[in-house]
């Protein structure tokens, strides 16, 4: 078929497709030119075998942040220890280094990233390198480099090597003009942080690569994630993680957000399970490539009430940080995740009382060990 006719057929198929749906089905990537770095995708000779889907070779970037180690442990149970490689530019503590494969990998170095993917025969990539919302505002140029330039490298390497790519987005991808209670999947997104801007950029670029080059891009908008044994760094929702720690250790906590600031939150186990579920979902069940996921939503004072049931002497004071408060006030209070529930069966396990019991059990045992020593 002449190329012009082929292109006009592709364009008319694209016009008929749903806004964020499976362009992949409609667009034969090889008719739309080479990848941005002029390296031809290996899709033509790399037909994905069943064993690659059942036994992916996985790379996690930004692996020493809040979620990487937990995700690696979770995926290693499913796919085998040697098939999940954790990477970062920082030096790992001993227990992480000895718990499974760990390598140095710098997402800002494109050739190096490509070498890591080729040498380790990677088929799935989880891209967790990012500066979070509050810390991003203190160093916009670093946040722009890591969150935007780094993403470009990851997208190109993933498209070149036919990887399945997961990039987390966030409630931070919304802004003050988005509907806040609830926030649907598709609505106005005008965030006011470099973090949020970079997350909207990631969503759009991933979806664009999906229909333009056939990249198997999958993305979830995470709420604030609460984890027991790993600390977040530089986020606006981090107050909640810190509250558990300080309540167990000192019986008191100074909160940097106002008592009535409502934000969506999720326990880490639900977050990791959602991430694997969306990665394993058949492509034809995904009506979109970027989904909201939700579990619970609470304010600092509601969380403190729940903590009080476990630590009766707990006291909370407030010292509001104006930058974090402005960020929180522009974010959703509740996410509408009905499309994720319908398309691939998303369902959370942890609500607020269960979250608090789990966190206090974890920190309570920590405190008792510390006191005994």
Residues that bind ligand AKB (CB under 6 A): 132-133, 170-172, 195, 222, 224, 232, 235-237
Nearest approach, Cβ of 240 to ligand AKB (angstroms)?
Answer: 9
Nearest approach, Cβ of 282 to ligand AKB (angstroms)?
Answer: 28
**Is residue 267 flagged as an active site residue?**
no
Q: Which of 283, 211, 346, 271 is nearest to 53 (CA)?
A: 283
Nearer to ligand AKB, 224 or 300 (CB): 224
Nearer to ligand AKB, 159 or 220 (CB): 220
CB 302 within 8 A of CB 333: no
Q: Where are the alpha helices (DSSP H) in 55-109?
A: 68-79, 94-97
Torsional sign, CA 339, 341, 347, 352: positive
CB 109 within 8 A of CB 92: no
Measured from each CB, the residue nearest to ligand AKB is 235
Nearest approach, Cβ of 212 to ligand AKB (angstroms)?
Answer: 27
Nearer to ligand AKB, 122 or 243 (CB): 243
How far is Cα 180 from Cα 263, in angstroms, rounded to an integer?
10
Q: Which of 148, 300, 160, 132 is nearest to 216 (CA)?
A: 160
Q: What angle do CA 280, 286, 291 make, to 5 degrees?
A: 90
Nearest approach, Cβ of 39 to ligand AKB (angstroms)?
Answer: 32
Q: CB neighbours of 98 closer than 8 A, spacing ≥ 6?
A: none
Q: Whats the size of the chain, residue-wise?
A: 373
Residue with tokens 């990998």: 105
Q: Residue 290 gets which letter from DSSP? A: E
Both tokens assigned to 35: 């990848």
Q: Catalytic residue among 128, 195, 239, 267, which?
A: 195
Nearer to ligand AKB, 41 or 193 (CB): 193
Nearest approach, Cβ of 208 to ligand AKB (angstroms)?
Answer: 22
Nearer to ligand AKB, 29 or 60 (CB): 60
Nearer to ligand AKB, 65 or 92 (CB): 65
Instruction: State residue 221 phi and psi, 5-degree precision.
Output: -90, 105
Nearest approach, Cβ of 182 to ligand AKB (angstroms)?
Answer: 16
* Residues labelled as active-site residues: 195
């Amino acid at each position: 078929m002449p190329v012009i006719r082929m292109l006009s057929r592709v364009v008319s198929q694209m016009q008929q497709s749903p806004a964020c749906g499976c362009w992949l089905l409609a667009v034969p990537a090889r008719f739309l030119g080479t990848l941005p770095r002029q390296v031809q995708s290996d899709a033509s000779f790399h037909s994905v075998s069943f064993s690659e889907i059942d036994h992916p070779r996985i790379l996690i970037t930004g692996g020493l942040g809040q979620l990487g180690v937990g995700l690696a442990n979770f995926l290693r149970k499913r796919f085998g220890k040697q098939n999940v490689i954790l990477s970062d530019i920082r030096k790992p503590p001993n227990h992480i280094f000895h718990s499974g494969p760990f390598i140095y990998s710098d997402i800002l170095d494109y050739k190096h990233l490509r070498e890591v993917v080729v040498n380790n025969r990677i088929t799935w990539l989880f891209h967790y390198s990012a500066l979070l919302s509050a810390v991003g505002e203190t160093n916009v140029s670093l946040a722009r480099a890591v969150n935007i330039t780094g993403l470009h490298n990851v997208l190109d390497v993933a498209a070149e090597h036919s990887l399945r790519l997961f990039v987390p987005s966030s409630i931070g991808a919304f802004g003050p003009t988005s509907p806040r209670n609830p926030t649907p999947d598709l609505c106005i997104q005008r965030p006011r942080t470099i973090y949020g801007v970079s997350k909207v950029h990631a969503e759009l670029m991933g979806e664009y690569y999906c229909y333009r080059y056939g990249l198997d891009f999958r993305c979830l908008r995470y709420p604030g994630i609460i984890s027991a044994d790993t600390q977040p760094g530089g986020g606006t929702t981090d107050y909640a993680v810190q509250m558990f720690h300080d309540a167990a250790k000192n019986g008191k906590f100074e909160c940097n957000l106002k008592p009535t600031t409502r934000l969506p939150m999720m326990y880490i186990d639900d977050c990791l399970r959602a991430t694997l579920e969306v990665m394993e979902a058949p492509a034809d069940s995904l009506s979109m490539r970027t989904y909201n996921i939700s579990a619970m939503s609470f304010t600092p004072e509601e969380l403190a009430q729940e903590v009080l049931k476990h630590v009766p002497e707990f006291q909370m004071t407030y010292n509001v940080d104006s930058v974090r408060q402005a960020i929180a006030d522009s974010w959703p209070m509740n996410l509408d995740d009905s499309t994720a529930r319908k398309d691939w069966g998303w369902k959370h396990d942890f609500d607020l009382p269960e979250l608090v019991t789990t966190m206090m059990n974890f920190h309570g045992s920590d405190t008792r060990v510390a006191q005994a020593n």
